[in-house]
Structure 1
Amino acid sequence: MKILLVCAGGMSTSILMKKMETYWKEKGHALDIKAVGLSEYQDVYQKYDIVMVGPQVSYRLKEIKENTGLPTAAIPSFDYAIANSPNIMKLADKLYAEK
C-alpha cells in the first residue's frame, strides 16, 4: 500500500509516518508512505494509492480529494495526536478497499 500523508508543512506528519512504518512492519505489511505539506501533494500524489490528511488541514479534504481523484480521508484528531497506528491502519485499509 502506498500512502500519501498531507499536513500543513509535513513536519508533524513525519513523526506519525515513522510510527506508522514501524507498526506496519511489525504486522508484516508492506508500506510505502510519504509525508508532505499542502504545497507539495499535487506534485507527488500520482505515485500513491490513497491520501490521508492531518486534522490541521482537514478543511481542505474536499479539494484534495477532487484534485487527486484518490480515496482520501482525514485522520481523526485523537488518533493523529497519539499516533494510534492500529486505528489509522484500519482507516487506510478502508480507503484502499475503495481504490
Structure 2
Amino acid sequence: MKIALVCSAGMSTSMLVKNMRQAAEQKGIEAEIDAYAEGELNQHMEELEVILIGPQVRYLKQRISGKADSYNIPVDVIDNMAYGTMNGDKVLQQALNLTS
C-alpha cells in the first residue's frame, strides 16, 4: 500500500509518517508512507493508493480530489485529534478504511 500525506511544504507531516510506519510494522502491514508538498503530488499520482491531507491545509481537498479522481485514489483530511497527537496508528487506520 502506498500512502501520501500532504501538507503545504511536506515538513509538518514527517513525524506522523514515522509514527505511521512504526504502526504498520507492528501490525505486519506492508505500507510505503511518504509526505509530500501539494506541488509534488502530481509526480506521484500513478503510484498512490490513498492521499491524506493535513488538517491545516484542508482547503486543498477539493483541488487534490479533482486530480485524484482520475486515478481512483481516495482522498481525505487527516483526523484533527489524531494529527495533533501524531497518532500514527489512528491515521494508518484512517488510510486503511479508505481502501476497504
Equivalent pairs counted in the alignment come to 97
TM-score (ref. length: structure 1): 0.91
Match of 2:57 in 1: 57
Gaps of 5+ in 1: none
Match of 2:99 in 1: 96
Q: Does structure 1 residue 76 correspond to structure 2 residue 72?
A: no
Over the aligned positions, Cα root-mean-square deviation in angstroms equals 1.0
Gaps of 5+ in 2: none
TM-score (ref. length: structure 2): 0.90
Contact 1:4 1:45 in 2 (8 A): no
Q: Distance in 1 between matches of 2:33 and 2:92?
A: 12
- Note the 1:1-99 alignment, pairs <5 A: 1-69=1-69, 70-97=73-100
Q: Distance in 1 between matches of 2:18 and 2:88?
A: 10
Give secondary structure in 2 for the equivalent of 1:11. coil
Q: Distance in 2 between matches of 1:64 and 1:72?
A: 8
